[in-house]
Amino acid sequence: MNIHAIRAIYVFEMSRTFRTLLQSIASPVISTSLYFIVFGSAIGNHMPTVGGVNYGAFIVPGLVMLAILTESISNASFGIYMPKFIGTIYEVLSAPVSVVEIVIGYVGAAASKSILLGFIILITAWPFSHYSIEHPFWMLAFLVLTSVTFSLFGFLIGIWADGWEKLQIVPTLIITPLTFLGGSFYSIKMLPDFWQGVSYVNPVLYLVSGFRWAFYGASASDVDFGQSLGMTLVFMLLCLAVIALIFRTGWRIKV
C-alpha cells in the first residue's frame, strides 16, 4: 500500500475545501439552518409530535442526511472530474499508484468533508432543536458509512460525466427529489397506503430512517435498522464493483 500516494491525493483534495470554505462549508450550513427555521420553528409549532418526538427534533437526522448525500456526491464527482478535464488524470494513472489507492485518496477526502459537515450541522441544529442521540455509536457508524457510500457514487458520476452540466444532473434531478420524498421532513406513516408502498421503493428512505433510528429508536423510524444498514452496504459494494470494472476497462478514463 502506497501511503504517500494516498496522503498526497487526500491532502490535495482536503486543501481545496479549506480554500473554498464559503462554498464547501458555509453555504450548506446556512441552507440547512434555513430549513430548521422554516420547518422546525414555523411549521413545527403547528405540528404534533412524530413518533413521540418533537417535530423540530424529528427533522434533524433527515436534514443532516440531505446535506451529506448532496455534498458527498458533489465533492467526490468534482474531485475526479477535474483531473479528467485538465488532463492530469494521466499523471495519476501512469504513476505507481494502484486503483485502490486512488479510490481511497479521492473518496476518503470527499467522505471526510461530508463527515465534518455533518458534525457542523448537528452543532448548528442544537439551538433550533434540542435533539437526543440514543445510539451514538451507530449514529457515527451510519454517518461514516453513508458518507463513504455516496462519495463512491459521486466518484462514479465524476467518471461518467463528460461535461460540467452532467455533474449536476444526478444530484439535482435524482438525489435531491429522492431525499425530499424519502421521509426527511415527515414519517411515511403519515402518507396514504398507496404512497407508503411507493416510498419503500425509494432507497433514500432506508438511509434517512436508519440514521433517525440512531437518534430516537424504533418509534421514530419507518424501517428496521437492519434493513437500512443492509441496503447501504449493498449499495456501497455495488459502487465498488462498478469502479473496479471501470478502472479495469479504462472506460471514460483512458480513452
Domain that holds residue 97: 3-249
Phi/psi of residue 177, nearest 5 degrees:
-60, -40
Q: Work out how many domains the chain is built from and give that number.
A: 1
Instruction: Report yes or no: 145 and 237 within 8 Å, Cβ to Cβ.
Output: no
Residue 158's Cβ-count burial label (10 Å; 0-12, 13-18, 19+) is buried
pLDDT of amino acid 41: 67
Distances (CA, A) of 28 to 176, 177, 227, 250: 14, 17, 29, 34
pLDDT of amino acid 12: 87
Q: How far is CA 55 from the centre of its chain?
A: 23
Give a yes or no: residue 254 inside a domain: no
Give a yes or no: residue 17 inside a domain: yes
Give a yes or no: residue 255 inside a domain: no
Residues of the chain with pLDDT under 50: none
Give a yes or no: residue 151 inside a domain: yes
pLDDT of amino acid 145: 93
Instruction: Report yes or no: 164 and 95 within 8 Å, Cβ to Cβ.
Output: no
pTM: 0.88
pLDDT of amino acid 238: 93
Cell numbers linked to 225: 435498522
Give a yes or no: residue 148 inside a domain: yes
pLDDT of amino acid 34: 79
Give a yes or no: residue 162 inside a domain: yes
pLDDT of amino acid 237: 93
Residue pLDDT, tens place only, 18-75: 777 666 677 788 877 777 777 766 666 667 777 778 888 888 898 898 889 888 998 8
